[in-house]
Amino acid sequence: MTKTLAFVVYPGLTALDLVGPLQVMSALASLDPTYRVVAVGRDLDPVGTDTPLRLAPSHTFAEITAPDVLVVPGGGAPTMAALADQELLDWIRTAADTAWTVASVCTGSLLLGAAGLLEGRRATTHWGCRDLLTRFGATPVAERWVADGPVLTAAGVSAGIDMALHLVERLAGPELARTVQLFIEYDPQPPLGPIDWQSVDFPAFEPHTRRMVTDGLADHPELLARLLG
């Protein structure tokens, strides 16, 4: 039986949030044809991202209603605006009813929260937005990725690749996950070394987060107050 791995596409998302884990899962599907990967949106029209790249879904919400795995990418102000998109949230809830795993990357976890899927769960997101998870009943965790039952959340942007490799291991075992990692040659060696989290000025980023939320939810004062009040 074919298992469907669905990635949500919506306007303004962060390209790597989607494309990083999408590449991992596409490698899985190429090695094991019992998996198929789809990109799902409201319609098939290309949408903008936070880069000059535009992305077109392969399927619509109406065509994919019961995926086995659901992955929701994040972004900046457009993702905040999507917190008020009831059609998107309704589809996420419906898809989550049948999915073995519901996953997110970066601020995609806020969409899971808005859909009511994080209540009482440990979760993570981009470090600049981590505290917002409490607004949806979640416990924020400062980890690269967090598994809590069927819900899997990744930290910011590139963390989606790590999360996706863990998901491959969960679905198909460690040997195949290592093969996928080799196929995509995922062997991070950042030229400036790892992030020194002890030196990050978290309070200095707070105005950026508030501006992002305010810009995205300017037309939704109740939701804006929920996140920033």
Question: Of 106, 146, 152, 217, which is the active-site residue?
Answer: 106
Let me know if 106 is a catalytic residue: yes
Strands 3-8 and 35-41, bridge-based pairing = parallel
User: Which ranges of 60-122 would DSSP assign to H, the alpha helix?
Assistant: 77-82, 86-98, 108-114
All residues at 6 or more sequence positions from 119 whose CB lies less than 8 Å from its CB, including other chains: 136, 137, 138
The dihedral built from the CA positions of residue 33, 34, 37 and 42, taken in this order, carries a sign that is positive
Burial category of 148 from C-beta neighbours within 10 Å (exposed 0-12, middle 13-18, buried 19 and up)? middle
- Residues serving a catalytic function are 106
